[in-house]
Amino acid sequence: MNIFKRLLKNRISLLGLILLLCFVFVAIAAPWLAPPKEGSDPYRIPRRGWSLEPTPPTAQYPLGLTQGQYDIYYGLIWGTRTAFRVGIIVITFRALIGIILGSIAAYYGGLLDEILMRFTDIFMSFPYLIGVVVFVSIFGPGLNNVMIPLIALGWMPYARMIRGNILAIKQEEYVLAARAIGVSDFKIITRHILPNSIFPVLIQASMQIGSIVISVSALSFLGLGAPEGYADWGQMLSFARNWMLGEQGNVLKYWFTVVYPGLAMVLFVLSWNLIGDAFRDIMDPRIQA
Amino acid sequence: MLSYIVRRLLFLPVVLFGVTALIFALISTLGPWTRVATFVPSPDAERHVDLEAIIRKYNLDDPPLKMYLRWVKNLLQGNLGWSQSSHMTVTEAIARRFPATLELTLFAVIPVIIGGIFLGVISALHHNKPLDHATRIMAITLWSMPDFVLGLAVLMVGFGVLGWFPPGRLSAWAELEVLKESFRSFTGMYTLDSLLNLRLDIFWDALRHIIAPVFTLACLWWAFMLRITRSSMLDVLNQDYVRTARAKGLSEKTVIKKHALGNALIPVTTVASSMLLGLLGGVMIVETVFNYPGLGLLTSTAATRLDVPCVVGVALFYAVILVVVNLVVDVLYSIIDPRVRLE
């Protein structure tokens, strides 16, 4: 709780928290902010026409319509949900795999530790984004096919971190005492060791949500992520690609196709990074002059 | 030291085995046609010959282990398969595109390192003062900017509004000049080659094309560098030996230059490898945005056309570069910082 108070006190992280709360609100209130048509999939952005050329903002569609007449306002609102969902799913599984492998390696040590850590090294020597692209080009595009490799190529830092933390805790007296009275390995790890080493890892992991949303959107931008018409910020930006140079004499004619989805993404990622940055300073006791 | 390097070198094949085995397992789930294109190193896969005949001719129904060994043997001979999206062998495609990406990365690395370190040190020296807050907020904002958003913005302003920085790698006329016999290709990097050929007009054209993607790449990593340098410098400034140096009356300039800076830069070298990783990934997005024909554009085009051999070939190429760079960085680290004992 002390940490939370300090986050509130710091003006930079307070700004981040407020921004983040706004996004949480938008995600929760999506059905009221942008009511989907009865009976249709809410994550499909409605098309307000069939012309390819974007339509500038009007009273009816406040943020305009992007390529293919997809409603930008609707896409942004429901895209917030996509961003949170993707970020949370990827982070949860990354942390889970990292924690399981890291704690097994640290607790048992020896050969098992060596094997698991070399395994980690192999995964680390795979160029991250390229690895995702390999996976997607083999199994075909789609949000799930982007998330799976993002999980598979992202758990290693957590495994290393948790391993380091546990190695430090393992020799503490209360762990030795638990072992002496015959508590099972599984119980020692889950009841005694993890609660004392997991917290910093979980915090670190959740701060990565912003960068995961960037990666997923980048792949959607390349046309490897969400299918066309799915409410996803990266995809809305890939629609903008063909129009951002406007037309002869009016270069900024289609500015709204880039600016609104871009702004949503930058603010979302910024909110996580503002909190994360303040957090790093708080957690690092050396930097407290 | 030597034993450490030897151990790392011995580990290299283990890593490469892991990476190839992983990729091979993924490829094995593919449909027959794509698999043929992956394993058959010739344009045969493009012609519509009898699938059965190809499978028989190249023994594609062998057990997996045998297939894997043969595939690796091919890889070792530089045979990465046929790329359908670029109509040439993957090896050739990589060889043609790599200089462009290398040029882009080299141009980006220099401003990132110099600018990032400089501002990071300034920021740390003004810890919690307005200047520190300003650079920090700027860095976080840039860092939060997805590369394709920033790239689109740069393209919109730099080309759309100002008309200064066109996309692509060369203008059409320069492209023709470069293909002429009188233009000798030394490195494949146009800015360097044009200078060596004493063709300032081509140099200027290449420079105009490379500035926007370099700027986009550099902005992101510049923020990263700044943050690392800042926290490491803050850490060093709180150390006892810096306090001692100040206590004995050295000028602030001497304290920082002689005592603090060198030590603060040690952790910065370790992030170099992760920066390179990020640059390689970022290159894919930035090259696509600016239509810059390097490895990144090759990969993203190949991926959208489901050209598996090409994507896999680039991934393997990157994996080798990565392992080597990591090794070099680790060794350099131990040379810079004598406290680090490599075991």
Q: Does A128 touch chain B (CB under 8 A)?
A: yes
Hey, what amino acid is at B112?
V
Taking a contact as any Cβ pair under 8 Å apart, which residues of chain A between 44 and 103 contact chain B? none
A103 or B271, which is more confident? A103
Q: Strand, helix or coil at B41?
A: coil
**Cβ within 8 Å of residue B3, ≥6 positions away:** none
CA B108 vs CA A243, B105, B221, B233: distances in Å: 27, 5, 9, 23
Instruction: Look at residue A248 in the predicted model and tell me its pLDDT.
Output: 67
- For residue A252, list chain B residues with Cβ-Cβ distance below 8 A: 156, 160-161
Which residue in chain A is spatially nearest to B327 when comparing CA positions? A125
Distance from CA of A153 to the nearest CA of B (A): 12
Residue B205 · residue B198 · CB < 8 Å:
no
A222: tokens are: 């390349």
CA atoms within 13 A of residue B83's CA, in its CB half-sphere = 25
Taking only the tens place, the pLDDT of each residue in A238-261 is 888 777 776 766 767 778 888 888
Report the DSSP pairing between strands A65-66 and A70-71. antiparallel
Taking only the tens place, the pLDDT of each residue in B190-249 is 777 777 777 778 888 888 888 889 888 888 888 888 888 887 888 887 778 888 888 888
Distance from CA of A131 to the nearest CA of B (A): 7
Q: Does A151 touch chain B (CB under 8 A)?
A: no
Instruction: Look at residue A288 in the predicted model and tell me its pLDDT.
Output: 47
Residue A44 · residue A38 · CB < 8 Å:
no
pLDDT, average across residues B37-44: 59
pLDDT at A133 exceeding the cut of 70: yes
Hey, what amino acid is at A250?
N
B97 or B175, which is more confident? B97
Angle at B63 between CA B57 and CA B69, to 5 degrees: 80
Local confidence band at B156 (pLDDT 50, 70, 90 cut-offs):
confident
- For residue A289, list chain B residues with Cβ-Cβ distance below 8 A: 127, 234, 237-238
Q: Of A122, A125, A221, which is closest to B148 when you measure between CB atoms?
A: A221
Most confident of A98-102, B124-128, B329-333: A98-102
B320: tokens are: 């080798």
Helix (H) or strand (E) holding B319: helix B308-336
- For residue A244, list chain B residues with Cβ-Cβ distance below 8 A: 152, 155-156, 160
Partner-chain contact A224 B299, CB within 8 Å: no
Bridge partners (DSSP) listed for residue A247: A250
Helix (H) or strand (E) holding A66: strand A65-66
DSSP state of B89: E
Local confidence band at A163 (pLDDT 50, 70, 90 cut-offs):
confident
Local confidence band at A283 (pLDDT 50, 70, 90 cut-offs):
low
pLDDT, average across residues A222-230: 83
pLDDT, average across residues A149-173: 85
Q: What percent of chain B has pLDDT over 70?
A: 87
Distance from CA of B81 to the nearest CA of A (A): 15
CA atoms within 13 A of residue B125's CA, in its CB half-sphere = 13
A179: tokens are: 């072992």
Partner-chain contact A262 B304, CB within 8 Å: no
Work out the mean pLDDT of chain B and round it to a whole number.
Answer: 78
Partner-chain contact B156 A252, CB within 8 Å: yes
Local confidence band at B343 (pLDDT 50, 70, 90 cut-offs):
very low
Distance from CA of A121 to the nearest CA of B (A): 7
Partner-chain contact A287 B238, CB within 8 Å: yes
Instruction: Look at residue A289 in the predicted model and tell me its pLDDT.
Output: 39
Q: Of B148, B161, B322, which is closest to A127 when you measure between CB atoms?
A: B322
Measured between alpha carbons, how far is B118 from B226 in angstroms, rounded to an integer? 8
Taking only the tens place, the pLDDT of each residue in B285-315 is 888 888 888 888 888 888 888 788 888 888 8
- Which residue do the tokens 């043609």 mark? B96
Taking only the tens place, the pLDDT of each residue in A30-53 is 788 877 777 778 888 877 777 777
C-beta neighbour count of B96 within 10 angstroms: 16
Residue A230 · residue A44 · CB < 8 Å:
yes
Partner-chain contact A266 B22, CB within 8 Å: no
Measured between alpha carbons, how far is B11 from B3 in angstroms, rounded to an integer? 12
Please state the φ and ψ torsions of residue B145, each to the nearest 5 degrees: -85, 115
Local confidence band at B332 (pLDDT 50, 70, 90 cut-offs):
confident
Taking only the tens place, the pLDDT of each residue in A54-107 is 777 777 777 777 777 788 888 888 989 989 999 999 999 999 999 899 888 888
B25: tokens are: 């397992």
**Cβ within 8 Å of residue B231, ≥6 positions away:** A280, A284, A287, B124
Q: ipTM higher than 0.85?
A: no
**Least confident window among A12-26, A50-64, B141-155, B202-216:** A50-64
pLDDT at B124 exceeding the cut of 80: yes
**Least confident window among A16-30, A275-289, B298-312:** A275-289
Q: Does A217 touch chain B (CB under 8 A)?
A: yes
Record the pTM.
0.81
Bridge partners (DSSP) listed for residue A65: A55, A71
Length of chain B: 343
Measured between alpha carbons, how far is A38 from B301 in angstroms, rounded to an integer? 38
Please state the φ and ψ torsions of residue B3, each to the nearest 5 degrees: -65, -35
**What value does the CA radius of gyration of chain B take, rounded to a whole number of Å?**
24
State the burial class of residue B132 (Cβ atoms within 10 Å of its Cβ: 0-12, 13-18, 19+): middle
Domains of chain B (ranges; CATH) run 90-336 (1.10.3720.10)
Q: Of A134, A223, A266, which is closest to B315 when you measure between CB atoms?
A: A134
Distance from CA of B150 to the nearest CA of A (A): 9
Instruction: Look at residue A151 in the predicted model and tell me its pLDDT.
Output: 92
Distance from CA of B199 to the nearest CA of A (A): 31
Alpha-carbon dihedral angle through residues B56, B59, B60, B64, given to the nearest 10 degrees: 150
Q: Does A134 touch chain B (CB under 8 A)?
A: yes
Interface test with B, best of A129, A247, A259 (most B CBs within 10 A): A129
